[in-house]
Amino acid sequence: MTTKVFLNEDEIPRQWYNLAADLPTPLQPPLGPDGNPITPDMLAPVFPMNLIEQEVSTERWIDIPEEILGILYRWRPSPLHRAIHLEKALDTPAKIYYKNEGVSPPGSHKPNTAVAQAWYNKQFGIEKLTTETGAGQWGSALAFACSILGLECKVFMVRISFDQKPFRKIMMQTWGADCIASPSEETNAGREILKKMPDTPGSLGIAISEAVEAAVTDKSGKTRYSLGSVLNHVMLHQTIIGLEAKKQLDKLGVKKVDVVIGCAGGGSNFAGLAFPFVNDKINGAEIEIIPVEPTSCPTMTRAPFAYDHGDIAKMTPLLPMYSLGHDFVPPPIHAGGLRYHGMSPLVSQAIVEGLLKPRAIHQMECYDAAVLFARTEGIIAAPETSHALAATIQEAKKAKEEGKEKTILFNMSGHGLMDLGGYERFFQGALEDYPLPEEEIKKSLEPLKDLPKPSTAKTGKW
Ligand SMILES: Cc1ncc(COP(=O)(O)O)c(C=O)c1O
């Protein structure tokens, strides 16, 4: 039996897929502080115009520049595996496949967009990028991309992860980036937060404010900000994952996938795998598509679809997305990359339309799943990825109960070799489940009351 499929470099997809072209209810525009849709030039101090064009594009297919492919070949196409050892341990009739994005140099899917973003910035004459990072996967991915393309890179790393994951910081340094803990004393946003909450563990919302401020206040005009998830162009760059997976499944003779699963922080690895399958679903295929989040940061399953800022200092435009509120500081669970208050507008609109079925899972079940995966397939997954693993195991067990031979595909978004502190605490019995209390959600949604509301209209087809 073939248990893994590689593609040759000349078989790599040469275009990204843009779901914005096919959403049955169109994406709603980002709004400025006055409540009116923002124009591309308003984003120009933050992003280069070539990426802004991608952000607002509704072209279905967008060519991947050859020079970007030339860098992606360092690890792409990534392998597609069949998890036969996990299937056996679960005694399930389901066939389980996964894309292994942990094979990239920084260890996750994040460099798929980091390389593209650094390349487009360089084309535009930009010399330095600033960004935030949660668990450190995104920061190290951008550090790697900037090092290859000869750009400077500054990373604001959420305090709790900065303390929990010192090796991620060293990876960034090795690739030549400057990494500091957020909130920091270097920005107005950071200083304000430290005054109010000196002991804060930090949050992605705070770190984004700092990174945007650092970019727009640089007087040289040669610095821009780069975001590792949430935005449309990031989802676009990640679709290479799902497009490769389709070719690989085709090689194996797999005609139909029944369930597609990815963990979702800002939505990018999930979207990357799932959007090409969402296209199939829009065109009539029967597929269950599941983004998975932690019960401690239940954006898709318990928060409203609302217009909200992407950051705590309200520097970003208002985006139409599921959101726990821009002031939300999530509990310090170990899946740092899933501790974000918002969700990609493209993923959010697909949820509104009923094309996706989000699910929240407790931390302990996720670690149990990750340990089973390590002891069967051998790979130690990132704590974020463990949420996709837990949902996959739930689905494989369901297939057994129903006696159905389902085909399940999930995204192994990253390895966890820099995240062993979380595993250590799990084995020590020091971790627990933390479903977010209702009062906390109510409190963090307060600031959304006076903001404009997006339409929740849907076609009703799904
Ligand atoms: C390995 C891994 N998976 C998933 C995520 C979640 O991010 P996204 O939803 O953008 O894929 C992260 C974020 O840091 C990550 O590092």
| 110-133 mean pLDDT | 98
Residue pair 369/393 in contact by the 8 Å Cβ criterion: yes
Number of domains comprising the chain? 1
Write out the residue range of the structural domain in which residue 430 sits: 4-9+63-107+232-448
pLDDT score, position 225: 97
Q: Could you tell which of 338, 339, 343 is best to mutate to test the pocket of ligand 1, judged by most ligand atoms within 8 Å of the CB?
A: 338
Nearest atom within ligand 1 for CA of residue 228? 10
* 332 pLDDT tier (thresholds 50, 70, 90): confident
Residue 243: count of CB within 10 angstroms of its CB: 20
Q: Could you tell which of 98, 99, 108, 157 is best to mutate to test the pocket of ligand 1, judged by most ligand atoms within 8 Å of the CB?
A: 108
Q: Please give the Cα distance from 226 to 52 (Å, whole number).
A: 12
Residue 53: count of CB within 10 angstroms of its CB: 15
* 2 pLDDT tier (thresholds 50, 70, 90): very high
pLDDT score, position 365: 98
**For residue range 99-109, what is the model confidence (pLDDT) as tens digits?**
999 999 999 99
Give the DSSP H/E element, type plus range, for residue 51: helix 49-56
* 205 pLDDT tier (thresholds 50, 70, 90): confident
Nearest atom within ligand 1 for CA of residue 136? 14
* 33 pLDDT tier (thresholds 50, 70, 90): confident
| 162-177 mean pLDDT | 94
Is residue 320 in some structural domain?
yes
Is residue 396 in some structural domain?
yes
**For residue range 178-188, what is the model confidence (pLDDT) as tens digits?**
999 999 999 99
Residue pair 414/107 in contact by the 8 Å Cβ criterion: yes
Q: Could you tell which of 138, 203, 269, 299 is best to mutate to test the pocket of ligand 1, judged by most ligand atoms within 8 Å of the CB?
A: 269
Torsion angles phi and psi, residue 144, rounded to 5: -60, -50
pTM of the model: 0.97
Is residue 218 in some structural domain?
no
Expressed in angstroms and rounded, the spacing between residue 305 Cα and the centre of ligand 1 is 21
Is residue 184 in some structural domain?
no
Q: Please give the Cα distance from 42 to 26 (Å, whole number).
A: 22
**For residue range 245-298, what is the model confidence (pLDDT) as tens digits?**
999 999 999 999 999 999 999 999 999 999 999 999 999 999 999 999 999 999
pLDDT score, position 38: 95
pLDDT score, position 335: 78
Expressed in angstroms and rounded, the spacing between residue 436 Cα and the centre of ligand 1 is 20
pLDDT score, position 451: 95
Q: Please give the Cα distance from 437 to 281 (Å, whole number).
A: 35
Is residue 151 in some structural domain?
no
Expressed in angstroms and rounded, the spacing between residue 370 Cα and the centre of ligand 1 is 15
Residue ranges around ligand 1 (CB below 6 Å): 108, 134-135, 137-138, 229, 263-270, 337-338, 382, 384-385, 413-414
Angle at 13 between CA 7 and CA 19, to 5 degrees: 135
As a whole-number percent, the residues of the chain with pLDDT over 90 amount to: 92
pLDDT score, position 196: 95
Nearest atom within ligand 1 for CA of residue 135? 14
pLDDT score, position 183: 97
Expressed in angstroms and rounded, the spacing between residue 439 Cα and the centre of ligand 1 is 27
Expressed in angstroms and rounded, the spacing between residue 317 Cα and the centre of ligand 1 is 22
pLDDT score, position 177: 98
Q: Please give the Cα distance from 441 to 121 (Å, whole number).
A: 37
* 14 pLDDT tier (thresholds 50, 70, 90): very high
More confident call, 1 vs 131: 131
CA dihedral 278, 284, 288, 289 (to 10 degrees): 10
pLDDT score, position 80: 98
More confident call, 82 vs 314: 82
Q: Whose CA is nearest to atom 10 of ligand 1?
A: 268
As a whole-number percent, the residues of the chain with pLDDT over 70 amount to: 100
pLDDT score, position 333: 74
Beta bridge partners of 412: 100
Expressed in angstroms and rounded, the spacing between residue 93 Cα and the centre of ligand 1 is 29
pLDDT score, position 334: 79
| 122-129 mean pLDDT | 98
Expressed in angstroms and rounded, the spacing between residue 338 Cα and the centre of ligand 1 is 7
Structure tokens at 111: 């460099």
Assign residue 262 the CATH number of its domain. 3.40.50.1100
Q: Whose CA is nearest to atom 4 of ligand 1?
A: 384
Expressed in angstroms and rounded, the spacing between residue 413 Cα and the centre of ligand 1 is 7
Q: Please give the Cα distance from 158 to 143 (Å, whole number).
A: 16
* 426 pLDDT tier (thresholds 50, 70, 90): very high
User: Is the confidence at residue 418, as pLDDT, over 80?
Assistant: yes
Is residue 353 in some structural domain?
yes
pLDDT score, position 217: 96
Expressed in angstroms and rounded, the spacing between residue 414 Cα and the centre of ligand 1 is 8
253: DSSP letter: T
Torsion angles phi and psi, residue 119, rounded to 5: -65, -45
Beta bridge partners of 14: none
Structure tokens at 76: 């792409």
User: Is the confidence at residue 331, as pLDDT, over 90?
Assistant: no
CA dihedral 124, 15, 102, 47 (to 10 degrees): 20
Expressed in angstroms and rounded, the spacing between residue 220 Cα and the centre of ligand 1 is 32
Cis peptide before 77 (omega within 30 of 0): yes
Expressed in angstroms and rounded, the spacing between residue 335 Cα and the centre of ligand 1 is 9
User: Is the confidence at residue 329, as pLDDT, over 90?
Assistant: no
**For residue range 347-358, what is the model confidence (pLDDT) as tens digits?**
999 999 999 999
Nearest atom within ligand 1 for CA of residue 416? 1
| 48-56 mean pLDDT | 97
Beta bridge partners of 322: 305
Q: Could you tell which of 229, 290, 380, 411 is best to mutate to test the pocket of ligand 1, judged by most ligand atoms within 8 Å of the CB?
A: 229
* Cβ neighbours for 284, distance < 8 A, ≥ 6 positions apart: none
Query: What amino acid is encoded at 386 in this protein?
Result: S
pLDDT score, position 172: 98
Is residue 38 in some structural domain?
no
Is residue 257 in some structural domain?
yes
Q: Whose CA is nearest to atom 6 of ligand 1?
A: 265
Q: Could you tell which of 113, 157, 238, 268 is best to mutate to test the pocket of ligand 1, judged by most ligand atoms within 8 Å of the CB?
A: 268
pLDDT score, position 164: 82
Rg of the Cα atoms in the chain: 20
Residue pair 133/155 in contact by the 8 Å Cβ criterion: yes
Residue 52: count of CB within 10 angstroms of its CB: 20
Give Cα 154 to chain centroid, integer Å. 20
